[in-house]
Structure 1
Amino acid sequence: MANRISPLPREEWDEAARDIFAYWEGDEARQNGSRSNTMMVFANHPALAKASLDLGRYFMLESTLSARQIKLIILRVAHRYNSVYQWTHNSLGARQVGISEAEIEAVKAGPSAPEWSREDRLLLEVVDATNAGGRFSDALWQDLSAVFDKRQIMDLIQAAGYFTTTAWMLIALEVEVEPDFAEFSRNRAKQDD
């Protein structure tokens, strides 16, 4: 399988594309291109890439959610849609923020897996409800409201949607996992206290 939209060829690297390469990786990527196939493909449309990256940065660094919560959301989305690229990079990132192998595997079973705390179970239920059209039962909403504040609930729902659209893009474009991804893929989320 090859990317349906190729990584941006060097002869097309303008400043806007270089800004995308450098978004997470800095000056070396600005000069040499990103090591990430996602960034190299997304650089074909810098305005869209920038808007998407800014929202992703919000979830990773500024939202009310912890790094653990963000990784659980991404992994659940990746599993639901079989987003291999997302799963591969974020299962590594999940380990980097302290999510155990058993928990990573339990993401596949979903909210009913015995590994989950009440908070984790609810988080996975939010991902599933959001991905099922955004319809929340009154019981789920009541449970959510007892555990999360209104900003956290809004961040949970929006994050589930954002990482779903990211999965759809990665799947539709058939973005390939880099053979050396473990050498450069790292958790980009804030560090939990």
Structure 2
Amino acid sequence: MTGIKQRIGHVPKDQWTDDHREVFAFWGEPNAWEEGSKTNVMNVMGNHPDLGKVYNIWGKHFLMNNTLSTRILEIIVLRVSVKANSAYEWHNHVGYAMNAGLTLEEIAAIRDFPEGGDWSKIEDAVIKAVDELIDENNVSDATWETLSAEFDTKQMMDLVFTVGHYVMTSWALAAFGVGIEGGADAIGFDLKTSSGNTPGKTYKPGEKEDWVDTRGY
């Protein structure tokens, strides 16, 4: 991406140890143990294997094993991406959100909240919770009451920690200068791609046999 100043680069291959390879290969990319990851974030995390390995385990819970529905998860991540101005997370999660059934119109309404969007009461409260956590460092009593009427304790905990995880990740991506991968058809906040094509579904690690191919790099 233009405008990104890389501050932490990729570890040279001749310096890789098994610890580096564990970071690169964690998500099951083909040949990642031998050739490294194709994702910029994993290559940067390889600079600190002890951190990279626990970050992967932690992050997998929120992305793959969250007690919240995938639709709710993607609403959260997209709203965090907007609030944190994370082009990297936005680009990746637009495709995930579409795979979870969100339309481009709904994704635009997440970006523009509270304008537009025909949200259910619980979805509206989820977006408000993201904003409150980021802006006020807490969830208001009214929003908590709405959420906890439908979500159990584990889901409430996952909601708060999911917001925190993706804010933390957005900070790291910005501070380290991690840009969208070369070859990817970058999706902007305007929901236009670099090529002018309409954004399409992408798949999470292992979700489909050809999940890597949907990313375009």
Please name the residue that 1:187 is paired with. Answer: 204
Please name the residue that 1:80 is paired with. Answer: 83
Could you tell me which amino acid in structure 1 is paired with residue 95 of structure 2?
A: L
| In 1, Cα distance between equivalents of 2:83 and 2:118 | 18
Q: What is the deviation of 1:115?
A: 2.3
Change (3 A) 1:154 1:112: farther
- Counterpart mapping for 1:50-69 below 5 A: 50-69=53-72
2:172 maps to 1:169: yes
Q: What is the deviation of 1:190?
A: 7.3
Greater RCO, CA 8 A, separation 6+: 1
- Counterpart mapping for 1:1-193 below 5 A: 1-26=4-29, 28-111=31-114, 113-181=116-184, 186-188=203-205
Could you tell me which amino acid in structure 2 is paired with residue 55 of structure 1?
A: W
Determine if contact 1:67/1:190 at 8 Å carries over to the other structure. Answer: no
Cα RMSD (Å)? 2.0
Could you tell me which amino acid in structure 1 is paired with residue 32 of structure 2?
A: A
More helix by share: 1
| In 1, Cα distance between equivalents of 2:56 and 2:76 | 17
Structure 1: 5+ residue stretches without partners: none
Q: Which moved more, 1:46-55 or 1:161-170?
A: 46-55
Could you tell me which amino acid in structure 2 is paired with residue 141 of structure 1?
A: W
Q: What is the deviation of 1:147?
A: 2.0
Q: What is the deviation of 1:187?
A: 2.5
Could you tell me which amino acid in structure 2 is paired with residue 187 of structure 1?
A: K
Q: Which SS does the other structure have where 2:26 is aligned?
A: helix
Q: What is the deviation of 1:102?
A: 0.6
Q: What is the deviation of 1:112?
A: 5.4
Q: Which SS does the other structure have where 1:113 is aligned?
A: coil
Q: What is the deviation of 1:26?
A: 4.0
Determine if contact 1:77/1:163 at 8 Å carries over to the other structure. Answer: yes
Could you tell me which amino acid in structure 2 is paired with residue 39 of structure 1?
A: M
Determine if contact 1:97/1:187 at 8 Å carries over to the other structure. Answer: no
Identity of aligned residues (%): 33
Structure 2: 5+ residue stretches without partners: 186-201, 209-217
Q: What is the deviation of 1:188?
A: 4.1
Could you tell me which amino acid in structure 1 is paired with residue 76 of structure 2?
A: I
Q: Which SS does the other structure have where 1:4 is aligned?
A: coil
Q: What is the deviation of 1:116?
A: 1.4
| In 2, Cα distance between equivalents of 1:189 and 1:167 | 23
| In 2, Cα distance between equivalents of 1:53 and 1:180 | 24
Change (3 A) 1:189 1:59: farther
Q: TM-score, normalised by structure 2?
A: 0.80
Q: How many residues align?
A: 189
